[in-house]
Amino acid sequence: MKILKQLFCTSLIALLSLAPNYSFAESSSVSEDVLLYTVKKNDTVWGICKTYVTDPLCWQKLVEYNQLKNPKYLPPKSIIKIPKSWLIDHPTTALVIAVEGSVLVTHQDSQLEEPLKVGDLLSHQDIVRSMQGTAMIKFADDSRLLLKANSTIRMASLQFYDPSQLVNTRVELLKGRVKAQVEKLSNKNSRYEISTPAAVAAVRGTEFRVSRSENPITKTVEMRTELLTGALLVSSDTNQQEIISGQAVLAIEGVGVSEPVDLLPRPLMVLNESQVIALPLLLTWKTIERAQSYKITLVSKDSQVWEKTTQELELLIEDIHPGQYQLLIRGIDAQGFEGRNRRLNLEMPEPDAEFKTQ
């Protein structure tokens, strides 16, 4: 009998010691799809609930879900888990701020494809398809996305929580190429992603380019991502790669994300900084080692005017309307990665113009 009592006590102690671990494991499995909210100074459970959750009993549930011992005080920089199923459905829109050439849009509530216009608002699941044109789209946090020619995107997710500046933006690249400029997100829980079947590029405070193509032999989707500034994580079903400014990766559907490679350097121009030149203008640059061709893009403040590719070391520019522009010149390597830009500021108030290199 004494032995049985000892065995019972030993079993009971073992079960009690396992109880906290079981609770944590159960919580972890439930919290796979959660918002990890970083507590700021003076945050309260009630305030967090008011911003993100509609349930009036949220404060009680949040305390229980996070096992908060002192709900009246939340230590700054601690983490509060909020199940995404509790979150307020807080959709927002994206604004079309520039359109050059032919670009079409299909809204979610319509089967008709119609011309995209400056001032149009894009909502969740809207599809934008450029023909020979381009479009500049601005999101709720002032981030911008340039849709290149012969490209298609879908607005997969557009959410913005204004009081906390939390952003959830996901753009699906269905075809072609985009360039994104993401403002530094004030809320570290924000998410900005460009996705394809090959991989997802998740960014913060970043300028980057993404292209989607199909391998002509295997028919698998390939995604090329080139990072110009900031930080970037490219994730596939099999692996992920974090890249830094000046690097690029290739993701192949079903294979994974390659090791990072360095972008080609900026081309050196055959041009004096203070030189004043008139149109027609012959731009000339020096050879970049490993460059197979060169791409030249003319952009204004909010739009891309044109883009040209050449294997020569020069380009003749014959006609530009008055205004302020930037010329971006970069090399393209054998893998199809576009390199760093040489930027030339061009002011065209009259037939004469002045360039300044950066």
* pLDDT tens figures, 147-158: 999 999 999 989
Q: Is the predicted pLDDT of residue 315 greater than 60, yes or no?
A: yes
Q: What is the pLDDT of residues 189-201, one digit of tens each?
A: 678 999 999 999 9
Partner residues linked to 317 by β-bridges: 281
CATH 2.60.120.1440 residue window(s) in the chain: 94-262
Q: Is the pLDDT of residue 352 over 80?
A: no
Q: How far apart are CA 98 and CA 171, in angstroms?
A: 18
Residue 293's pLDDT band, with cuts at 50, 70 and 90, is very high
Q: What is the mean pLDDT of residues 249-277?
A: 86
Contacts of 175 (CB under 8 A, 6+ apart): 129, 150, 151, 152, 212
Whether the per-residue pLDDT at 41 is higher than 70: the answer is yes
Q: Which amino acid is at 346?
A: L
**Element (H or E) spanning 22, and its range?**
helix 2-30
Read off the DSSP letter of residue 269: B
Backbone φ and ψ for 33, nearest 5 degrees, come out as -115, 70
Digit-coded pLDDT (tens) for 59-70:
899 999 999 989
Residue 14 has what DSSP assignment? Answer: H
Q: Which pLDDT value is given to residue 159?
A: 84
Give the pLDDT score at 141. 85
Give the pLDDT of residue 276.
Answer: 52
Q: What is the phi-psi region of residue 335: left when phi exceeds 0, alpha when psi lies from -120 to 50, beta otherwise? A: alpha
Average pLDDT over all residues of the chain: 84
Q: Which residues pair with 182 in a beta bridge?
A: none
What six digits make up the tokens of 283? 């731009």
> How many angstroms separate the CA atoms of 242 and 260, rounded?
8
What confidence score (pLDDT) does residue 184 get? Answer: 72
Left (φ > 0), alpha (ψ -120 to 50) or beta: where does 147 sit?
Answer: beta
CA distances 342 to 236, 245, 301, Å, are 31, 15, 17
236 and 223 Cβ atoms separated by less than 8 Å = no
Amino acid 9: pLDDT = 42
For a pLDDT cut of 70, what percent of the chain falls above it? 83
Q: How far is CA 20 from CA 10, 14, 23, 66, in A?
A: 17, 11, 5, 13
- Helices and strands in the chain: count of H runs, count of E runs: 3, 26
Q: At CA 303, angle to CA 297 and CA 304, rounded to 5?
A: 20
Residue range 221-225: mean pLDDT, rounded = 98
In this prediction, residue 271 has a pLDDT band, given cuts at 50, 70 and 90, of: low
- Cβ distance 197 to 214 under 8 Å? no
Domain with CATH 2.60.40.10 in the chain: 276-357
pLDDT above 90 (res 251): yes
The secondary structure of residue 148, as a DSSP letter, is P
pLDDT band at residue 356 under the 50/70/90 scheme: very low
Q: CA angle at residue 60 from 54 to 64, to 5 degrees? A: 120
Answer whether residue 45 shows pLDDT above 50.
yes
* Domain(s) of CATH 3.10.350.10: residues in the chain: 26-86
Least-confidence region, from 41-55, 105-119, 134-148: 41-55
- What's the CATH superfamily of 26-86? LysM domain (3.10.350.10)
Which CATH architecture best describes the domain 276-357?
Sandwich (2.60)
- Helical H runs in 136-246? none
Q: How confident is the model at residue 23 (pLDDT cuts 50, 70, 90)?
A: very low
Contact by Cβ (8 Å): 308, 251? no
Longest dimension (CA), the chain: 106
Q: What pLDDT was estimated at residue 336? A: 97
Res 25: pLDDT? 27
Residue-wise pLDDT for 118-138, tens only, equals 999 999 999 999 999 999 999
Which CATH number among 2.20.25.90, 2.60.120.1440, 3.30.70.1230, 2.130.10.10 corresponds to the domain 94-262?
Answer: 2.60.120.1440
Between 153-162, 178-187, 328-337, the lowest mean confidence (pLDDT) is in 178-187
Q: Give the pLDDT score at 28.
A: 31
Q: Assess contact for 298 and 307: CB atoms under 8 A.
A: yes
